[in-house]
Structure formats: structure tokens, C-alpha cells
């Protein structure tokens, strides 16, 4: 199932998105009553997907991110060895979340700002101290995220909160896929149609189960919380006027334009 969140003439709603992305004109958004957790029930209303606006597919209480989770990315950022023995985690504020086609706004005081294409897991139920082998039972599904980063602020601050926490620095979408296996998916990031990142989730140092176990030992995870699983090599700058598209096999493509803050 593809789960999304839309703005329609009747308001904002969770939906099941039906049809195939290869034929967008045939896709529909079927309204879910209340929320998509558990077994969704439907209101009976639906819209052609072309007649509604896709929003970020989930409202998260928090966004937990994993850094340094692909060895080749660790190397390109100047790290040594095969990467950290344990997951390195940090938080983005939920105010950084935006949906598909919403502009990433570059702060006037940040340069360079980098894209980071990532697979993201969405939590389905409150959970704490979840073992790796039981993690799948706490995951609603998977979506795509861009861990946008002000690289100069990351380096100057000595920690990552400001650099990764700006408004619009967490594009997510276009929807959540509930039946995809995250273990070996191709991830490809393009800027203005040029491929910048191409890797597979099988190259992660810590897989999704290990990540959920590590994070849930620290904090309680709540329904809708997002876990960004790390970015592969190939990160680079984005500028005013660029378009970033991240495609994850079996999920779809997340596209966002880039503008300098203060411009429309």
C-alpha cells in the first residue's frame, strides 16, 4: 500500500494512493478515516491524484537521523576506516519537514548547502527497547528524505543541530510504501537531471533493524516518527534555481526546487 497525505478542496487527509506511478493520470487518492496506523478504514471519498496536492506523508513528533552510515560517504567527508562501530544519531526539528515540490530555502548566511538523499523509515506504534529482529513490527513503511545540510555551519559549530535544522531542510515524500523490503534498494539523487548519488541500501553499515534497536534504547519512538537512515557518497552543493530529485527503488521519486531564502 502507498500511504500519503494530501490537501484537497475538502481539506487535509491521509489517503491510500492507488494506481501506478508510470501512469500518473490514472492514480487516485482514496481518503482514509482518521489515521493510517493499524488497518485503515476509508470514508468512501477519492480524488484523481492530479487534482490534489501531495504533502509530507507524515506528521512526525521527531526526526531521528543516522550519520556516517555508508563507508564511502565517511571516506568522502574525510573519515578513516570502515565507519563507526555503533550508529551515530542526531535530531532534526519537525519544523524542518516539507513535502514534495515545496522549495528548499537556502539561508543567506549558509554556504555551501548540500543535498543528502536517504531512505527513511516511518514508525507505526509507540515502542521502546525494540530488538533488531523485531524492528519490522514497529515500522509502518518507508519513504524518501533529503537531509539538507549547511556544511559550513556543521563544520564551524562542532555539532550538527543548526546546520541540519533550518526550516525546509527535511523534504520527505512523496508517499510511504508499506510493503517494500529495505535491505537492498537502489538510491539515486539527481540535481538538474545529473546523477550525483547512486548506491544501494545494502551498503549501509548499520541496517534498519540495528538502527531501530539503537535509537529505541535511547528514546521512545511514537507513531509517525521518521528515521533517516544515512546518505551514500556523492553529496554536494545545491544553489538557487536547482532542482533535486531523489529516487528510491520500489518507492518513487521525491523532487524539490531550491531557492535562496527571501525569494518566492
Residue 253 — pLDDT band, cuts 50, 70, 90?
very high
Same domain, 128 and 248: yes
**pLDDT grade, residue 106 (50/70/90)?**
very high
Q: Where are the beta strands (DSSP E) in the chain?
A: 2-8, 11-18, 28-32, 42-48, 53-54, 63-67, 88-92, 97-98, 104-106, 113-115, 117-123, 139-146, 149-150, 170-177, 186-191, 194-200, 226-228, 236-238, 243-248, 252-260
In this predicted model, what pLDDT tens digit does every residue of 190-220 receive, in sequence order?
999 999 999 999 999 999 999 999 999 999 9
In CATH, what number is assigned to the domain containing residue 24?
A: 2.30.30.370
Q: Give the angle subtended at the CA of 201 by the CAs of 35 and 228, to the nearest 5°.
A: 45
The pLDDT value recorded for residue 77 is 76
Helices (H), the chain: 71-76, 151-157, 161-165, 208-216
The answer for residues whose C-beta is within 8 angstroms of residue 250's C-beta and 6 or more apart is 177, 180, 181, 185
Q: pLDDT (tens digit, 9 = 90+) per residue, 112-167? A: 999 999 999 999 999 999 999 999 999 999 999 999 999 999 999 989 999 999 99
Per-residue pLDDT, averaged over 248-257, amounts to: 98
**48 and 81 housed in the same domain:** no
The pLDDT value recorded for residue 24 is 80
**Total residue count of the chain as it appears in this document:** 264
Q: Are residues 32 and 86 in the same domain?
A: no
Residue 231 has a pLDDT of: 97
- End residue of a domain, out of 30, 55, 80: 55
Give me the pLDDT at residue 138, please: 98
118 and 194 assigned to the same domain: yes
Closest CA to 238 of 153, 148, 118: 148
Same domain for 150 and 20?
Answer: no
Residue 111 has pLDDT above 80, yes or no: yes
State whether 32 and 73 are in the same domain: no
- CATH number, domain at 138? 3.90.850.10
Same domain for 46 and 157, yes or no, is: no
190 near 196, Cβ under 8 Å?
yes
End-to-end CA distance of the chain: 35
Domain count, the chain: 2
Q: DSSP assignment of 246-262, as one string?
A: EEETTTEEEEEEEEETT
15-55 pLDDT, tens digit each: 999 998 888 888 999 999 989 998 999 999 999 999 999 99
Residue with the bigger pLDDT between 81 and 194: it is 194
Which grid cell sits at 97? 519537514
Share of the chain above pLDDT 90, in %: 88
pLDDT of residue 25: 84
Residue 80 has pLDDT above 70, yes or no: no
Range of the domain at 143: 63-260
Are residues 154 and 30 part of one domain? no
In terms of domains, do 126 and 217 share one?
Answer: yes
Q: Let me know: does 9 contact 29? Beta carbons within 8 Å.
A: no
| Same-domain check for residues 8 and 134 | no
pLDDT surpassing 80 at residue 264 = no
Question: What is the model's pLDDT at position 62?
Answer: 98
Amino acid at each position: 500500500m502507498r500511504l500519503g497525505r494530501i490537501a484537497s478542496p475538502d481539506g487535509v487527509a491521509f489517503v491510500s494512493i492507488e494506481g501506478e506511478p508510470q501512469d500518473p493520470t490514472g492514480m487516485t487518492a482514496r481518503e482514509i478515516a482518521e489515521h493510517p496506523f493499524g488497518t485503515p478504514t476509508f470514508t468512501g471519498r477519492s480524488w484523481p491524484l492530479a487534482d490534489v496536492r501531495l504533502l509530507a506523508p507524515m506528521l512526525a513528533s521527531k526526526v531521528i537521523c543516522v550519520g556516517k552510515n555508508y563507508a564511502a560517504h565517511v571516506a568522502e567527508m574525510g573519515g578513516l576506516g570502515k565507519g563507526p562501530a555503533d550508529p551515530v544519531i542526531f535530531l532534526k526539528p519537525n519544523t524542518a519537514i516539507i513535502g514534495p515540490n515545496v522549495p528548499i530555502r537556502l539561508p543567506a548566511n549558509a554556504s555551501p548547502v548540500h543535498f543528502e538523499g536517504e531512505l527513511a523509515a516511518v514508525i507505526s506504534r509507540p515502542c521502546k527497547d525494540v530488538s533488531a529482529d523485531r524492528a519490522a513490527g514497529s515500522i509502518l513503511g518507508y519513504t524518501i528524505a533529503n537531509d539538507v545540510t549547511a556544511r559550513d555551519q556543521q563544520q564551524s559549530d562542532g555539532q550538527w543541530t543548526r546546520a541540519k535544522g533550518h526550516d525546509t531542510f527535511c523534504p520527505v515524500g512523496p508517499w510511504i510504501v508499506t510493503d517494500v523490503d529495505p535491505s537492498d534498494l537502489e538510491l539515486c539523487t539527481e540535481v538538474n537531471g545529473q546523477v550525483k548519488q547512486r548506491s544501494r541500501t545494502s551498503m549501509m553499515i548499520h541496517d534498519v533493524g540495528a538502527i531501530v534497536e539503537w535509537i529505541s534504547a535511547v528514546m521512545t519512538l511514537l507513531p509517525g516518527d521518521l528515521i533517516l537512515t544515512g546518505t551514500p557518497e556523492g553529496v554536494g552543493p545545491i544553489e538557487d534555481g536547482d532542482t533535486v530529485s531523489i529516487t528510491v527503488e520500489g518507492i518513487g521519486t521525491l523532487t524539490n526546487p531550491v531557492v535562496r531564502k527571501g525569494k518566492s
